[in-house]
Amino acid sequence: MRLSVLDQAPISEGSTAAQALGRSVDLGRLTDSLGYHRYWVAEHHGTPSLACAAPEILIGAIADASERMRVGSGGVMLPHYSPLKVAEVFSILSGLHPERIDLGIGRAPGTDPMTTMALQRDRSRPAPDDFIEQLVELLALLEGRLPENHPFTRLSRSLPGRPERPEPWLLGSSPQSALWAAELGLPYSFADFINPNGPAIAADYRGRFVDSERLGAPLVMAAVVAICAETDEEAERVASSMKMMFSLLRQGTLIQVPPVEKALAYLETRPRGPGSGRRAVIGSPATVRAGLEEVAGEYGADELMLLATIFDHDARRRSYELIAEEFGLAGAATAAEPDRIASA
């Protein structure tokens, strides 16, 4: 099973968005060396919590800072853009980093209604709900599948990174996205951290999958919150920042990622009833391994993508290090080799 990284460029309280961007590049460099398979950057707009409004720019920076792993979007929120613009941007990224760029495509706005309106060129009316038409056009542009008499065919032939192109994925957290991914023969990434009822949806995707030139068999990835520390107790402490941020988000309040002590004090004031319904795998390396293997088994996942919203960047780095070591990722083993030699 492959392990990958989902990054939302979290902005910790007391730090700047620019610092968050630098930390994302640093985390990309680290996880590349540890042996993670791919690194995706999310797209969110108009929030003090996350600095990932332009994933395509972060993708380029992280791809430059890394050597091996695939880098991509998790995802590009297609309703904000023209298919041609997305095709051109990811064509350039692919030309600069051949066979390393992923184009994860999403339908959600990644923000609130007012910010969605601000992102639109035409603000006189709501944007049309034509995601599937946009998606089909984008794929046709990237793959050179437009009919000869189509007015955009010459544009497809002129994409600036040709002959390189990104690997497309469809992102989702609902049954509709699974239907589209199956019909179009696309690999499918499900946001378990948004909707923990994904295993049945992933199974429906597999059952409906239509073999295509893009993909000969269904391919499922599950994106899940995973936070690891040396002990279960320390991991729960570290994860308190994420829990506070998500708790306030459900109440409509957006904040920067709070420090642990502040988060623990806040959580002490909350009723200890049922949780939010969001799944999170939190604990020591052994605990996290067991939790991730359970998630993978439920989905029949070929790959897991791990999201860690942590206040302290060093603790975030350490979380990915511990998971890599526990799963025996190739890079983690190589990194440990000098210590074994020195102690021999």
- 3-state SS record for the chain: CEEEEEECCECECCCCHHHHHHHHHHHHHHHHHHCCCEEEECCCCCCCCECCCCHHHHHHHHHHHCCCCEEEEEEEEHHHCCHHHHHHHHHHHHHHCCCCEEEEEECCCCCCHHHHHHHCCCCCCCCCCCHHHHHHHHHHHHHCCCCCCCCCHHHHHCCCCCCCCCEEEEEECCHHHHHHHHHHCCCEEEECCCCCCHHHHHHHHHHHCCCCCCCCCCCEEEEEEEEECCCHHHHHHHHHHHHHHHHHHHCCCCCCECCHHHHHHHHHCCCCCCCCCCCEEEECHHHHHHHHHHHHHHHCCCEEEEECCCCCHHHHHHHHHHHHHHHCCHHHHHHHHHHHHHHC
- When pLDDT is cut at 50, 70 and 90, the band that residue 343 belongs to is very low
- What are the tokens at 175? 């049954």
Residue 83 phi/psi, 5° resolution? -55, -35
- Enter the CATH code of domain 2-343: 3.20.20.30
> Confidence class of residue 72 from pLDDT cuts 50, 70 and 90?
very high
Q: Is the pTM of this model over 0.75?
A: yes
Cα 244 from chain centre: 21
* Res. 199 pLDDT band, cuts 50 70 90: very high
Tokens matching residue 135? 């998606």
Mean pLDDT of the chain: 93
Residue the block writes with tokens 């998790």: 74
Q: Tell me what pLDDT residue 32 has.
A: 98
Q: Is the pLDDT at 342 greater than 50, yes or no?
A: no
Question: Residue 19 above 90 pLDDT?
Answer: yes
Mean pLDDT score, 198-207: 97
Task: Tell me what pLDDT residue 83 has.
Answer: 97
C-alpha–C-alpha distance, residues 1 and 32, integer Å:
17
The pLDDT value given to residue 272 = 65
Say what the pLDDT of residue 166 is. Answer: 98
pLDDT in tens, 79-120: 999 999 999 999 999 999 999 999 999 999 888 889 999 998
Q: What is the pLDDT of residues 211-265, one digit of tens each?
A: 988 999 999 999 999 999 999 999 999 999 999 999 999 899 999 999 999 999 9
228 close to 288: Cβ distance less than 8 angstroms: yes
What per-residue confidence (pLDDT) applies to 126? 85
Q: How confident is the model at residue 274 (pLDDT cuts 50, 70, 90)?
A: very low
Whether the predicted pLDDT of 340 surpasses 50: no
Kindly tell me if the per-residue pLDDT of 337 is higher than 80: no
Q: What distance in Å separates the CA atoms of residue 156 and residue 40, rounded to the nearest whole number?
A: 25
Give the pLDDT of residue 88.
98
Look at residue 162 and tell me whether its pLDDT is greater than 90: yes
Distant-in-sequence, close-in-space partners of 19: CB < 8 Å, separation ≥ 6: 11, 12
**276 pLDDT more than 70:** no
**Residue 82's pLDDT is what?**
96
pLDDT at 341 over 60: no
Residues counted in the chain: 344
The answer, yes or no, to whether residue 142 has pLDDT greater than 60, is yes
Structure tokens at 258: 């709070």
| Domain layout of the chain by residue ranges | 2-343
Residue 125: per-residue pLDDT: 86
Q: How confident is the model at residue 122 (pLDDT cuts 50, 70, 90)?
A: confident
